[in-house]
Structure 1
């Protein structure tokens, strides 16, 4: 019998597939994973034990998914969540739906039953393709240990490519334990689609020919450089700027061209500007139902240009005259250095030599900007009640003391309307909130925001309904030692639904009232610091004290259930 040839000395040391997954995450530059542990992926958790990847232990899978989604929103890199099979995956589904509708890169790793038990209705068995196939960009299953690194790399690449979105990676418990000699693979580079010179020239020509050109900004991929460049470009050509729903941090609000965000609780003048524009240039987003009030206005300008990284312009409604496959950053670069920028001065001469009425000397949007500024900074009418905090005055006064680099997170609900109106933002990376109307994101998003941007102050907003869904992630903030401030708006009803109910079924309140705990005491019990704010004049000093506290703090404010929107 011949002797067995020993492996070469430089052969990779075998490791489990679970550990190889962690090594590939390291190779991809992943900094954090958000998880609720489960026995189905213990080997991955073991691989994370001595990894530089920071494991953030959350208290519910929905919170872990929302935290990962917020990290993706603020860092432009796929967020990573890890949950267990069956019930864990079901809890995480809310973040998958949010990432899909919000076009946010999210990778959800979830443990699965052992391969040999499939199809037997085993404990916590489910079909990942059936559950997530219509709400994720891709569903991958690790069926062979040698493919672990490749699948991880594929998942991150798919999540961030084109129109970003969620990717599911199923991890059978037995496959994770199998050994492999396969090494980590090089991360797959992302395409960075850029406009061609003729596309830039056509866009510039359209702007120069328009009387009322409008830039609609939104989506992902906004950097400070892109925002600054596009703001300057718009100002030089007399182009106003509005923001898509919950993408209102794409542009610094101090820019004179900014006319406000669209969507729920938006300013009437902002909506009028959208309807008045004869040219709409949508950058990073498409024309959808929320920005147009369920397609009630702004759906048929004379000309529409869409610049997104998605060649399908998924979700776009209405006319589309020019589609540019580009990111906000590559479009800004092209407009700043391309032939159009050099040939189209602010006075409005197009590349074809046609004279237009645009440019800084004829800024058609100026009245809209003035009205928006007046609305944003003014409070109309007397204080409503001594019994409840007056959010108009409280949030308006807070705007004067908030740091300019504050990051604001929130979930879904009317309570966000006051911050949306009164709190200006300095630009990209300042907001993390769901665009699909999902409740419960504010607190876990605040956790992720502080971890991702530790040098910036973070305020998480939550209604009482929102907080009771994922407020347990306040305990995660305590565990991580994070200096975040959560404001819980307690009106003891599901306020947004009450608004619909009052309109459709007046005088018949049903199923919309709740009984709440003492949220300040709850924060104290978690090991944070709770404040009960009962007077309007106490809101600002208590907010400042909470933000100065070295650890998680919570402001419990009691608000009038009859007041559902800011004063107009």
Structure 2
């Protein structure tokens, strides 16, 4: 964290400079933005702060996604600046992702001058009304002298309890206003810890169980927290199922790993959740997807006994009434669990072994369908699983292509799965760029569907401009696959609005200056992937896949 010595020494300054001083004091080293005239004073102040890297995206939605991904990777608020009106509406997707993914994010938005507020001036938006339902806090700065105070509060709010997004509106005249220099306030860091008196009860409930199951999720899991949790699980030999797109918290290669509580989850895993006599939920909110639409655990009092550990007291009892509720952030919760003395004998060893065996069977890549044409995606993901280093980061957006990734790739370390739990399309490429900028020495791969990639293909220009050599895998089946799947189930043979007329993805990527290849067979993928990794610049591989292969074991009979 930078010291307050970076704050301007002049007796007077401007609101824009006070704001950037406050960012520096709170440890900000990178901001993502699309420039706008409504916050020119901030851009000017950033010019004097070489210690803050300014990454300019080509679309505000992509900039917000990059900032959200950076928040996932660091546990500190990702920072995004956009202009008023259209900039704010475009960037709202990042705020929604941060809310549902519990990611610390601060979105700074330009605003009309204070004298024009309430008149529906050019590009004016009532930000508290617009963002109030998806942000933890929305504030408009109406006095430049309060900028240090409000920025510190924004950092504290974004990181406290259940992390999430904060929106700060910046009227133009407040940013340009002359004001006295002031020390930049630094947000306090305080993580909620568990009540130690809860440990004996927690241990007693675990020991008495016969079919316990751990449901793991939530945000901001450090390597230490994940290590502590893993040590607890292995000492107690408990089966672990990870919540939707939170697989990287627990090493998927361990025998205790029971699978992924995902869309279209393994039916045998769903049966395990129903049959469990005790659920230990750690970090997860127990949301719709992880609970199979609130059917695997029935609110408000599930049939299974429930121990729920979560960072935010407001989430404990919000949907499910637990038998034991413990408020705790991930790190102290994991330390508490690791400190529990494991029993000398366990009644659930056969149950844990069965859970691991069911998942291992489900994870076997099926043989390609006899009529399939194009690349079998299962073989592609299996190759990534075999060859990528443990610390490789994989980013993805939303679409049925992700089913293969989440099912057949084994995540090994925390903060290596960068994916939106809210199911936002277009997230993968911006998130991958942010990840590569944060970890330039690690392999970063974006896996994207054709429709998903086309949300923000222009961000290849950002990757080139800011030296972010990511590898992008575009799974091209010529349609919005998830929507087509549901369409065929409800209205078989009546295709409407789900076909895609795609560009030449290779030519598109080459036009940006990226390395690009089209891969026609699974056998050709390994060599093409290595060429992409070695290219030294952003690279795109287009994979042509059969549109009838909509999930790993299904065949879309109504298409073709």
Which TM-score bucket, shorter chain as reference? over 0.9
Residues of 1 paired with 2:391 and 2:62: CA distance?
Answer: 25
* SS of 1:323 mapped into structure 2: strand
Q: After the TM superposition, which residues 475-486 of structure 1 pair with which residues of structure 2 at under 5 Å, given as runs? A: 475-486=461-472
* SS of 1:470 mapped into structure 2: coil
Between 387-396 and 470-479, report the one with greater CA deviation: 387-396
- Residue 491 (structure 1) aligned to one of 477, 486, 493: 477
Q: After the TM superposition, which residues 111-260 of structure 1 pair with which residues of structure 2 at under 5 Å, given as runs? A: 111-260=110-259
Q: After superposition, what is the alpha-carbon deviation per residue over 1:336-359, rounded to whole angstroms, capped at 9, x for unaligned?
A: 34xxx24x43425xxxxxxxx24x
Does residue 408 of structure 1 match 2:394? yes
Q: Which runs of 5+ in 2 are unaligned?
A: 1-7, 555-560
Residues of 2 paired with 1:386 and 1:281: CA distance?
Answer: 42
* Alpha-carbon distance change, 187 to 363 in structure 1, aligned in 2, over 3 angstroms: farther
- Residue 333 of structure 1 is matched in structure 2 by 335
- Residue 435 (structure 2) aligned to one of 433, 449, 454: 449
Q: After superposition, what is the alpha-carbon deviation per residue over 1:510-542, rounded to whole angstroms, capped at 9, x for unaligned?
A: 011111111111111111111111112111221
Structure 1 residue 552 displacement after superposition: 0.5
Does residue 554 of structure 1 match 2:554? no
- Residue 367 (structure 1) aligned to one of 327, 333, 354: 354
- Residue 304 (structure 1) aligned to one of 306, 312, 322: 306
* SS of 1:424 mapped into structure 2: coil
Q: Residues 238 and 346 of structure 1 are in contact (CA less than 8 Å); yes or no, is this contact kept in structure 2?
A: no
Residues of 2 paired with 1:113 and 1:243: CA distance?
Answer: 45
* SS of 1:171 mapped into structure 2: strand
Between 35-44 and 263-272, report the one with greater CA deviation: 263-272
Q: Residues 280 and 301 of structure 1 are in contact (CA less than 8 Å); yes or no, is this contact kept in structure 2?
A: no
Q: After superposition, what is the alpha-carbon deviation per residue over 1:539-562, rounded to whole angstroms, capped at 9, x for unaligned?
A: 122112111220100111111111
Q: After the TM superposition, which residues 239-388 of structure 1 pair with which residues of structure 2 at under 5 Å, given as runs? A: 239-299=238-298, 300-313=302-315, 316-337=318-339, 341-342=340-341, 344-348=342-346, 357-358=347-348, 362-376=349-363, 378-385=364-371, 387-388=373-374
Aligned residues: 543
Q: Residues 252 and 425 of structure 1 are in contact (CA less than 8 Å); yes or no, is this contact kept in structure 2?
A: yes
- Residue 40 (structure 1) aligned to one of 33, 38, 41: 38
* Alpha-carbon distance change, 389 to 271 in structure 1, aligned in 2, over 3 angstroms: same
* SS of 2:71 mapped into structure 1: helix
Residues of 2 paired with 1:335 and 1:12: CA distance?
Answer: 51
Q: After superposition, what is the alpha-carbon deviation per residue over 1:113-168, rounded to whole angstroms, capped at 9, x for unaligned?
A: 11111222211111111111111111111111101111111111101111111110
- Residue 526 of structure 1 is matched in structure 2 by 512
Q: Residues 288 and 315 of structure 1 are in contact (CA less than 8 Å); yes or no, is this contact kept in structure 2?
A: no
Structure 1 residue 11 displacement after superposition: 7.5
Structure 1 residue 380 displacement after superposition: 2.3
Residues of 1 paired with 2:318 and 2:435: CA distance?
Answer: 30
Residues of 1 paired with 2:382 and 2:369: CA distance?
Answer: 13
Residues of 2 paired with 1:196 and 1:318: CA distance?
Answer: 20
* Alpha-carbon distance change, 272 to 548 in structure 1, aligned in 2, over 3 angstroms: farther
* Alpha-carbon distance change, 503 to 424 in structure 1, aligned in 2, over 3 angstroms: same
- Residue 18 of structure 2 is matched in structure 1 by 20
Two-structure CA RMSD over aligned residues (Å): 1.7
| TM-score, scaled relative to structure 1 | 0.92
Residues of 2 paired with 1:15 and 1:260: CA distance?
Answer: 55
Q: Which runs of 5+ in 1 are unaligned?
A: 1-9, 349-356
Residues of 2 paired with 1:226 and 1:82: CA distance?
Answer: 31
Q: Residues 27 and 184 of structure 1 are in contact (CA less than 8 Å); yes or no, is this contact kept in structure 2?
A: no
Residues of 2 paired with 1:397 and 1:89: CA distance?
Answer: 40
| TM-score, scaled relative to structure 2 | 0.94
Q: Residues 213 and 278 of structure 1 are in contact (CA less than 8 Å); yes or no, is this contact kept in structure 2?
A: yes
* Alpha-carbon distance change, 386 to 510 in structure 1, aligned in 2, over 3 angstroms: closer
Between 395-404 and 88-97, report the one with greater CA deviation: 395-404
Q: Residues 279 and 301 of structure 1 are in contact (CA less than 8 Å); yes or no, is this contact kept in structure 2?
A: no
- Residue 64 of structure 2 is matched in structure 1 by 65
Q: Residues 515 and 538 of structure 2 are in contact (CA less than 8 Å); yes or no, is this contact kept in structure 1?
A: yes
* Alpha-carbon distance change, 203 to 188 in structure 1, aligned in 2, over 3 angstroms: same
* Alpha-carbon distance change, 216 to 268 in structure 1, aligned in 2, over 3 angstroms: same
* SS of 1:555 mapped into structure 2: strand
- Residue 29 (structure 1) aligned to one of 27, 30, 37: 27
Q: After superposition, what is the alpha-carbon deviation per residue over 1:176-204, rounded to whole angstroms, capped at 9, x for unaligned?
A: 01122242333121222111222111111
* SS of 2:536 mapped into structure 1: coil
Residues of 1 paired with 2:377 and 2:202: CA distance?
Answer: 43
* Alpha-carbon distance change, 30 to 11 in structure 1, aligned in 2, over 3 angstroms: closer
Residues of 2 paired with 1:384 and 1:115: CA distance?
Answer: 66
Structure 1 residue 383 displacement after superposition: 4.7
* Alpha-carbon distance change, 315 to 250 in structure 1, aligned in 2, over 3 angstroms: farther
- Residue 563 of structure 1 is matched in structure 2 by 549
* Alpha-carbon distance change, 314 to 505 in structure 1, aligned in 2, over 3 angstroms: farther
Q: After superposition, what is the alpha-carbon deviation per residue over 1:89-127, rounded to whole angstroms, capped at 9, x for unaligned?
A: 010111111111221111100100111112222111111
